Amino acid sequence: MRTTADQHTVRVSGTRLRRRRRRRREAPDRSPAGTRANLDRVVILFIYSGVAAATAGCWSELGSVTGLAAWLSWVGRLTGLLAGYLCAVLLGLMARIPALDRGVGTDRLARWHATAGRYTISLSLIHMTFATAAYAVRNGVGPFDGALTLVLTGPALLEATVAIILLAGVAVISMREVRRRVSYEVWHYLHFATYGAVFLAFAHQLTGPDFDANPLMGLFWWTLYLAVCGALIWYRFLTPVRRALRHRLRVAHVRVESPEVVSVYLTGEHLDELDAEPGQFLRWRFLTPGMWWTANPYSLSAPANPRFLRITVKGVGKHSRALAHLRPGTRVWAEGPYGALTAARLRRRRVLLIGGGVGISPLRALFETLPGEVTLVYLARRDEDLVLRSELDAIAERRGAHIHYTVDDPYGSTNGRSVPLTGRALRALIPGLPEHDVYLCGPSGMTTAARHALRRAGVPRRRIHIECFDF
């Protein structure tokens, strides 16, 4: 017979055991997400280590700099080295290296690329200004005469000047106000001017005093640029060609999902070797007149399988609208898969998916495959914009998941239920919301509003997963 003390001990032990089990259940699975966070830090550390290596010689001579001309020259030298190094970083971030793309995420790499681009142009202009000023002070000439003389007679300076102009042009077309008025295809191809700019500037970079005095610096520079060049050639050009020949994708069928949305089914060979995960996207090049010259990013709207692939696309531009008129048998080249909006980001057993309009495409694949307790909130303007609804209902019934449809139309079949994107509304709709992982996909306005609402509802930033296509 147990004493009161024994019963108390059993109760305490049982309580501790339950608490331990609950903590284990609720504890985040840190391995995939932690690996991603660690990869972010490793990439950033690698970039900053390169900055230190590129400028070490310049900093070591700081103590011996005297006089105005020497100081102007030193600042020009430092900023020139930084600009040259960042040119390589610019290209490396967009080389589509699979480990970086899956681990860091395409959208995050694109944001880093854009930031590095702004720094590169700023540093290049500062370099040009200070180098010109140093030359003018040493030779007793005016700034304009000094700049003209340097550009016309300096080592590879004419090419470097053209490079700065090209980089500035790319920066202008990448500005939000300008890009809205330029088609994706035009913006994408004008971006290739970056390659020409870096190529033109490279010869000038090797003319600095750091390379004359230190052979190791030249070795570092050549190794850096050759590695980036090799990655670009392999991943951006050779790999797509190799995969196109291997998989031989063709359009099998085009299905109309709504007046503005179609699903394209594609068949091919060895599709199981693509290793495409739910939530990822590919860049699709349809080899038909008017479409062959560009590769646009579209997410898989169903898990990849050996029989077929599927994308679901809304016609918002010339390329996407043309998908509705594709003929069966059209050859397709697909680059990828890319993106990190996958199950590898999971930290919790409970998952909330929030999709807007055709942003349901990657979420539909995740809704079918993500482990744990999954809830989907699907927002649209009208009933007919709720594409793939029958598939979503079937998946929900099969796995016992929950779906909340919400439309702005008060006369829709969803009984006019509209969930405002506020923290209070989402908390009322989703019990235990702060303990969820959340995946977002949809128009930029919707995802921005949803992200703010989720933060106000108590969802930590690290558990809100979103991948934008602004690249």
What value does the mean pLDDT take over residues 9-28?
Answer: 38
Give residue for tokens 């860091």.
104
Per-residue pLDDT tens digits for 197-230: 899 889 888 887 888 778 889 999 999 999 999 9
Residue 417 confidence (pLDDT) above 70: no
Please give the Cα distance from 413 to 299 (Å, whole number).
28
Under the banding of pLDDT at 50, 70 and 90, the label for residue 6 is: very low
- Based on the domain organization, do 64 and 122 belong to the same domain? yes
What value does the mean pLDDT take over residues 390-398?
Answer: 95
Residue 151 has a pLDDT of 80
- Based on the domain organization, do 60 and 36 belong to the same domain? yes
- Based on the domain organization, do 92 and 170 belong to the same domain? yes
Q: 201 lies in a domain?
A: yes
Higher-pLDDT residue of 7, 453:
453
Highest mean predicted confidence (pLDDT) among 8-17, 77-86, 100-109, 337-346: 77-86
Q: Are 84 and 205 in contact (CB under 8 A)?
A: yes
Residue 160 confidence (pLDDT) above 90: no
CA distances from 421 to 101, 364, 385, 404, 441 (A): 30, 20, 18, 13, 14
Per-residue pLDDT tens digits for 305-335: 999 999 999 988 888 899 999 999 999 999 9
- Based on the domain organization, do 319 and 174 belong to the same domain? no
- Find the CATH number of the domain harbouring 365: 3.40.50.80
- Dihedral sign for Cα atoms in the order 448, 454, 459, 463: negative
Q: 60 lies in a domain?
A: yes
- Based on the domain organization, do 318 and 385 belong to the same domain? no
Residue 255 has a pLDDT of 95
Q: Are 141 and 377 in contact (CB under 8 A)?
A: no
Task: Tell me which of 299, 315, 338 is where a domain ends.
Answer: 338
Q: 7 lies in a domain?
A: no
Q: Which amino acid would we find at residue 26? A: E
Q: 289 lies in a domain?
A: yes
Q: Among residues of the chain, what percentage have pLDDT more than 90?
A: 49
Domain boundaries, position 269: 248-338
Q: 222 lies in a domain?
A: yes
- Based on the domain organization, do 259 and 223 belong to the same domain? no
Per-residue pLDDT tens digits for 113-138: 989 999 999 999 999 999 999 989 98
Q: 19 lies in a domain?
A: no
Starting at the earlier edge strand, list the strands of the sheet with 309-314.
296-299, 281-286, 331-338, 249-258, 261-267, 309-314
Number of domains observed in the structure of the chain? 3
Please provide the average confidence, as pLDDT, over all residues in the chain. Answer: 85
- Based on the domain organization, do 350 and 332 belong to the same domain? no
Residue 411 has a pLDDT of 56
- Based on the domain organization, do 149 and 36 belong to the same domain? yes
Q: 16 lies in a domain?
A: no
Under the banding of pLDDT at 50, 70 and 90, the label for residue 452 is: very high
What value does the mean pLDDT take over residues 261-287?
Answer: 93
Task: Tell me which of 311, 338, 365 is where a domain ends.
Answer: 338
> What angle, 0 to 180 degrees and rounded to 10, lies between the N-to-C axes of helices 68-93 and 106-139?
160
Under the banding of pLDDT at 50, 70 and 90, the label for residue 32 is: very low
- Based on the domain organization, do 274 and 167 belong to the same domain? no
- Based on the domain organization, do 254 and 195 belong to the same domain? no
What value does the mean pLDDT take over residues 269-283?
Answer: 92
- Based on the domain organization, do 348 and 414 belong to the same domain? yes
Maximum Cα interatomic distance, the chain, rounded to a whole number of Å: 104
- Find the CATH number of the domain harbouring 330: 2.40.30.10
Per-residue pLDDT tens digits for 234-251: 999 899 899 999 999 999
Q: 111 lies in a domain?
A: yes
Strands (E), 399-454: 402-407, 437-441
Judged by average pLDDT, the poorest of 52-61, 170-179, 257-266, 395-404 is: 170-179
Under the banding of pLDDT at 50, 70 and 90, the label for residue 1 is: very low
- Based on the domain organization, do 196 and 298 belong to the same domain? no
Task: Tell me which of 242, 274, 293 is where a domain ends.
Answer: 242
Highest mean predicted confidence (pLDDT) among 178-187, 367-376, 377-386: 367-376
Q: What is the pTM of this model?
A: 0.79
Strands (E), 275-349: 281-286, 296-299, 309-314, 331-338
Under the banding of pLDDT at 50, 70 and 90, the label for residue 37 is: low
